[in-house]
Structure 1
Amino acid sequence: MDIDQLKYFQSVAETKSFTESATRMNLSQPALSRSIQRLEEEFGQPFFERKPRSVELTDAGLLFQRSATQILRILEDTRAEITDDGETGKIRIGAIPTIAPYFLPNLLKQFSNAFPRSQLIVHENTTDELLKRIKQGEIDLAILAEPISEKYVEVKPLMEEELCLLLPPDHPLCDKDRISMKDVEEEPFVMLDEAHCLSENIHSFCRQRSFLPVAVERANQLATVQELVSLSHGISMIPEMARRLDRSKRRVYKSFVSPRPTRRIVCVTNPYRFQSRLFAEFRDRLCEYSKNF
């Protein structure tokens, strides 16, 4: 068994495809298949269940994947520590979909300009999946919204952000100066799917006001929620960072009277992993960027 075999195994486990993994690893598919087969023969167990259009990890494969992940992570951390010059390296950043497209672009541009030999890789996913990847060492840092219930991770507050009321332009509340939560108790809401923490943020705030929003439609993307509200499918609550970038005149944003609904944005890292000088620089700039965002 060698390091390349571990990398090939990880790629197939991640993509669930020999064809896609061969392309990703710049190998022919027969060569990749032979490498995995030799690995399975060495351990005397099949690691993958071959299906017509995909592959799935067997029980033995799941066990081997945990060990392979740890080995590759240790090697990567060791390499990063040895070559740590504060200028070069790879930083893998995770962010939830209600943060990534609104918060990250300018930050990434500024950092890339300051450190042109660095490589920034963005992973966009749900909170649960990103926390899992943080703990497994697959990403270095995640930008999430509270609550964070995961143990053995380091959580650093970045900023508090208002959740704005989103209305179609012909809604009666558009003409009202002071809007309270009581004004929207009976309104139909367009929400993100429950996998997105923004939905839980909204539900949590509403529960504190003794009501639950009635979701008449759910969507996978914030942009879809905005469009559905434009078409008068309901109302919604949208993060301030998304409101800033919305140039549409088919939607109206309003602030609630105090106490306004908010969400807290945090930075999550794995304190048990090696953190390079370049990573520390990015984390410091992230904190400073958040203060002025």
Structure 2
Amino acid sequence: MLPLDPLDVEIVLLLNTELSLGRIARRLSMTTSAISQRIERMEDRLGHRIATRKRNIRLTEAGMEVLRTATHLKMHSDDLARRLDQLKNPSIKIMADHSLLIHDLPLVLQQMTSDIPKLSIHLTTGSFNQIIQAVNDHQADAGLIAGDPKVIGLQGRPIRKEHICLLIPNNHPLIRYKTLYFADAIRYPMILSNNLEHITGHLMDEAKRIGAHLHIPMTVPHFEIQAHMVSRTDIGIAPTLESVAKRFISIYPVTYVRLLDDWAENLLSAVIREKGSLSDEVNTLIKYLIKLNH
């Protein structure tokens, strides 16, 4: 069987969605007779009738098989077009927490733009779950998260070790501790960040284990707002990343206490799609992120 050419593919796909040759002809800026002749030539090559010729066109059983092939060819053609365009206009879309974008990416992106002069970089911020969803839906090429994506089709590439701590005001009763278990701080209200959504279950489990109530009066979109709220209000203390806390203690009147719980050991990961679908730009990003942190 001869393969379908690009116009054949478009016609077969439209046979599945349009109900008349006239509408297909208008969509493709062709005449109805030209469309009809094209279908007949396909049928001669295939040895099967692929569509009825009644008032409303319907694909035959053979036509449905051809449609599956046409859909497959269209997807591969579109993917090839994207890849070729990427060679001419290299770009990368990265999503992370506001604080991680500022801390972890400047030197990496500077090196990447030096290596790839035409590179176009698009940075956006998002929560833990938003980042995973964006990468999974091809809305982002890579994301930075504290933890493991644990989603089929995605993988987390470890970048550096991270640790969960509690960010507290300088006048807080916990100021006398350098380290403690979360259970020892559970009676204080907590300001959570959407970028540590993966630890919420641990916090709830710990509260349940000791029969305590976990009070969460506020959840914020990223770490910087979390630090600002801890320093400017008495709403609560905040589970956050130690690397983030170290930066904010020089900006805000806050300090941090390291958590001793096993789940407090984390990794900062670059979440990406499975290896086979990675672009050169994503591979370069991962390479420099790892190099910078080791």
- Alignment partner for residue 78 of structure 1, among 81, 84, 102? 84
CA RMSD of aligned residues (A): 3.5
CA distance in 1, matches of 2:128, 2:154: 13
| 1:15-26 aligned within 5 A | none
Tell me the residue number matched to 1:30.
Answer: none
Contact 2:97 2:223 in 1 (8 A): no
Tell me the residue number matched to 2:265.
Answer: 262
CA distance in 2, matches of 1:105, 1:205: 33
Letter in 2 for 1:236: A
How many residue pairs are counted as aligned between the two chains? 223
Letter in 1 for 2:103: Y
C-alpha change, 1:136 and 1:203, in structure 2 (3 Å) is closer
CA distance in 2, matches of 1:165, 1:281: 34
Identity of aligned residues (%): 14
CA distance in 2, matches of 1:182, 1:228: 22
C-alpha change, 1:273 and 1:177, in structure 2 (3 Å) is closer
| 1:4-83 aligned within 5 A | 42=27, 73-80=79-86, 83=87
C-alpha change, 1:213 and 1:286, in structure 2 (3 Å) is same
2:118 matches 1:112: no
Tell me the residue number matched to 2:197.
Answer: 199
Question: Shift of residue 157 of structure 1?
Answer: 2.3
Alignment partner of 2:217: what SS? strand
C-alpha change, 1:77 and 1:208, in structure 2 (3 Å) is farther
CA distance in 2, matches of 1:131, 1:105: 22
Alignment partner of 1:214: what SS? coil
Residue by residue over 1:119-172, the C-alpha shift from the partner in whole angstroms, topping out at 9 and shown as x without a partner, is 222232234333333334332222223342321223322222011211111112
Contact 1:142 1:267 in 2 (8 A): yes
Question: Shift of residue 248 of structure 1?
Answer: 2.5
Tell me the residue number matched to 1:282.
Answer: 285
| 1:171-250 aligned within 5 A | 171-192=172-193, 196-204=194-202, 207-208=205-206, 210=209, 213-230=214-231, 231-246=233-248, 247-250=250-253
Tell me the residue number matched to 2:256.
Answer: 253
Residue by residue over 1:157-198, the C-alpha shift from the partner in whole angstroms, topping out at 9 and shown as x without a partner, is 222201121111111211234433232021111123xxx240
CA distance in 1, matches of 2:273, 2:138: 8
C-alpha change, 1:249 and 1:117, in structure 2 (3 Å) is same
Letter in 2 for 1:253: Y
Whichever of the two has the greater Rg, that structure is 2
Please report the TM-score for the alignment, with normalisation by the length of structure 2: 0.62
Question: Shift of residue 202 of structure 1?
Answer: 4.5
Question: Shift of residue 102 of structure 1?
Answer: 2.9
Tell me the residue number matched to 2:34.
Answer: none
C-alpha change, 1:136 and 1:216, in structure 2 (3 Å) is closer
2:103 matches 1:102: yes
Please report the TM-score for the alignment, with normalisation by the length of structure 1: 0.63
CA distance in 2, matches of 1:202, 1:98: 20
